[in-house]
A and B are shown apart, each in its own frame.
Chain A
Amino acid sequence: MKQSSGLRASLFVATCLAPLSVAAADVSNAMSKFDRAMATFNPLGEHVRKPIERAVPRLTFRGALRQWSDVLIDSDDRVGFREQDFRFLQLQNLLELETFYNFAPGLDLNAVTHAMYDGVYDWQRSGGLFADKLDRTAELYDNSERILREFYLSWRTPGFDLMVGKQQVIWGKMDGQFIDLINGMDRRESVQLESEDFELRRLPTWMVNTTFHFGRNSLQMLYIFDFEQDRQPLPGSPWFSPLIPPTTAASDILLPTKRVESGDFGDHEFGLRLDRSAGALTYGMIYAYMWDKNPVGHAIGTETRGANTLLRLQPRHERLHHVGVTADYATTLQDIPWMGTLPAVFRLEALWTKGVRFADFNKLAAARAGAATDGTAQHDTLRAAVAAEFGLPANTTMILQTSYYHTFGWNPALGFGFGGGFGDEWSLIPLLYLSRPFAFTRDRLSANFTAFPVISGPDNGWQGIKTKLRVRYKFSQFISGQLIYNGYDSGERNDLYGQYDEWDNFGWELSYEF
């Protein structure tokens, strides 16, 4: 009897599993056919790129279509001063076209154009999102400045490069920005903006860019005659800080920002960079005479409205001197337990900035009381990072990076300033990054994880942690997709990550390059 019931159970299980097995085989076969169909799926490459390049042999034409969306895992009606009645943080669609025309060996004209539409303002009902009414480019790139992203003529000889026009110049090799300070940035994603987004978010600038090459050295000189400031999240945009109160009749009077003039030689910017490669060690130094890309309000007077004394604040950019160093060193560590050898790279970057302008709330109070002060203070800052990257078994990469930000002569009345601690004297981010592909998918699936805890002192201590998990799948050599989770946990409501505690989100990205 017992045997018989066991047999019946086995038969029952087998009967149940048989269709599953067949279904699994069907799915597998369908996936297999899908793989082969996708292998050659490149319609824009075949029907647009190839004919254009055939017709104009000196032209290289390529492009990409990208769609990326982030959705809040949960929404709250009210977070700080924000009405968080929306779910989508971005529904962005981007078409990028790149063209390179070769006039002669070493002489090229390069143009990159972008068309971007973000559906968050149209495709969900929200009273809290209205940034598109303040600035149309929050939703759609509708002006030539945004559409024509890069446009420059390049002339290269063995010992000399010259590039003139609108371009991006990237200094630095670390995760985050340390000596990378030439171009402004569209920071609409606030704390979610990361290194892999910089290429699309950087704001190219008109400049003359020359580099001299001699032996293992290179000397780069920049003359920037068109200033581009950072674009911070606008009021009514998904990432606008919930800590910032809305403007009311009792708010101070904010005047238009004093512009940096392109037509005034005295307002132009300059940069120098020297690099040297010496075997396992490479190192370099930079100096730049730039404008702070974020203005600071100067109190230029007061106005009395009712019982309130309001400050008249004029935002101004500050001239800054930057001095920086960069170095990296490679080695293979021997006799490591469990893994034998361990390839490793160590990197260092540091930037010291002189005379960063900060809002000083004690001085602003004094200005409101009638004292002769503009309500600001100048302090030097240091931002630096040390990183170690290891090549672990199973194609696993691990990066440990410690980022450090310091304001010299700090006091609790200071606001935020370039390169300094986050509302504190110093801030520390001990970053951990892990990445690996999965062999069972023939390495088409890969995952990476990053943790960004923030600690500041002497006032704030723990400021929260950001965690990011990204899973990427390669559908073909032209199409890939990603699923991303970003979490912002712990910390106080007024901390760097703590303020975005309700902004945990899940996203996907699809990319087709042709």
Chain B
Amino acid sequence: MNSDAVTRDGSRLARHSLAVCCAVLCGLAAAPQAAEPTWRTVTQLTADERAQFDPDTSAPRDATLPYMPAEAYPFQPPYTAEEMGYRAAEFVHISRWPHSLIDVFGVITSSGYINQGAGVSYVNLQTKPGLEGYVSGVAAGQVYSRWSIYSVFPPETEAEQQLWVPYRTDAKNRTKMDFFVYSPQLRRVRRQPQPRRDQRFPDNAQTFDDVIGRDPWEFDWQLLGTDVVQQTIRFPNTRPTITLNNHESGFVERKTTDIRPMGDDYPHYRPDGGVDCWVVKAVTREDLLPDYNEKTLIYWLDKHYFYPVRMEKYDHEGKLIMIEVRNAALENPAREGFGYSALMTLYWDLEHDIMSYSVHDAHRPHEWTAEEQAMIFTPEFMRRQWLYEPIKSQALIGDPKHYFLRPQLYRERFPDERRIELSPALAARYEAQEAAGQLVFESGDDAAAPAP
């Protein structure tokens, strides 16, 4: 039931670890000695990279919104680290344009306990799309968007609904959203307190801010360097395919090995399939986020659109506490580079060794009519128990052994900035997973499950 048990049990995992060590040693012996590191610090940037990066940390401020850089969004190269942070804030978990989708999500523990859900989600904006709409299209303290979520799985929560009404926030207006829940058991719409921003949702690795997004002005930004990311979300070898719902062509079975970090339409893959990234560090500003659980965030941002393919969280002791990785897709081609959205996101909470995933299936940009806006995105609508536009998904995971792998640790990259400490039990599970190509649970039962 808990990770400590693994060390006591030990034997099977130890065998896995031994096998991994042997494989690593053999691999080291066989590999070319001059394997080039994928990452570079700021002092090692290439001339092209230096031309794209502005090290200035005292850029002029906007006259009306002093927490914003003066340069007009989306900025022009060379970019400061702060501007990169602003560009990355374009790509929050819930895309910044009106759309509909079905969010399939779940969590797994180290014992293999799995808990999943699925909710049909409708998103409407009170302003124009994009970060620009959020920052300058609506005044601080005003409603920014409205999200309606109708649960369709598991049976216990079927027809449960939520209405999220996020606000444009700043240093003075701190309420992030109004939050309403409809419970079919109680048949009541109840206004709930907003979740605490830095707190994991129960039975989940995701925090409220992971979902709703963080305002870039709440952080101090610094460029650490560059890197190449080959993989983000990794499927196990027990799951060769996944069926996704494309809103135009319906259910499509995809080979999991074909799913790439930035989707099929991304034009800037390296010849080896990797994604060139800026690596940016964001430190929480104590004056704006006092007592915030996360002290430092490190982002891997694709160099062209600043899409965050990977993010790590560090606590106040500087210790790694969570890794988030994403597979993106160009879901809104009309917005070109700003139209990328998370198709899949995986969160690994290292403290509790729980992993949450979220698949945004059947994503469809959706202009809501005035009548629909007035009808759907209200607390009263939830009482009607009306699934207005049903959307289906087959992305639920059928067996714990088909669950995604823990994200790669990249221990060797930016070691001065990244303090990674795993418990012996967790380290053993991680290594065992790397050797097996699938999750290895506490009892070490690594027999492969039949493919779905």
Contacts and interface: CB of A to CB of B under 8 A. Distances in A.
Nearest to B114: A39
B358 to A, nearest CB: 16
Contact of B9 (A25, A213, A444): A25
B378 interface: yes
A280 B178 contact: yes
A38 B109 CA distance: 13
B248 interface: no
A62 interface: yes
Interface stretch (A7-15, A309-317, A332-340, A485-493): A332-340
Interface stretch (B72-80, B183-191, B254-262): B183-191
Contact of B112 (A21, A39, A328): A39
Contacts of B290: 340
Interface stretch (B21-29, B85-93, B196-204, B309-317): B196-204
B348 to A, nearest CB: 13
Interface in B133-163: 143, 154-156, 158
Contacts of B444: 29
A337 B51 CA distance: 47
Nearest to B113: A35
Interface in B204-230: 204
B194 A513 contact: no
Contacts, number: 190
Contacts of A340: 290-292
B371 interface: yes
Interface string B277-316: 0000000000000111000000000000000000000000
A480 B400 CA distance: 19
* Range for the number of chain B residues in contact with chain A: 35 or more
Interface residues of A, number: 77
Nearest to B375: A158
A134 interface: no
A40 B185 CA distance: 24
A514 B193 contact: no
B192 interface: yes
B8 interface: yes
Contact of B187 (A22, A199, A393): A199
Given A35-B112, A62-B158, A282-B191, A198 B199 contact: no
Nearest to B108: A39
A301 interface: no
A198 B188 CA distance: 11
A172 B190 CA distance: 9
Contact of A275 (B2, B6, B154, B380): B380
Interface string B108-123: 0101111111000000
Contact of B114 (A28, A199, A477): A477
Interface in A274-324: 275, 277, 279-280, 282
B179 interface: yes
Q: Top 7 A-B pairs ranked by shortest CB distance?
A: A28-B5, A343-B193, A36-B112, A391-B193, A340-B291, A29-B443, A32-B111
Given A391-B194, A477-B154, 11 more contacts: A28-B442, A35-B109, A196-B185, A199-B186, A211-B384, A280-B178, A332-B174, A395-B201, A439-B352, A442-B113, A442-B352
Interface of B: 1-2, 5-6, 8-10, 107, 109, 111-117, 143, 154-156, 158, 174-176, 178-179, 185-197, 199-204, 290-292, 352, 354, 371-372, 374-375, 378-381, 384, 386, 398-400, 441-445
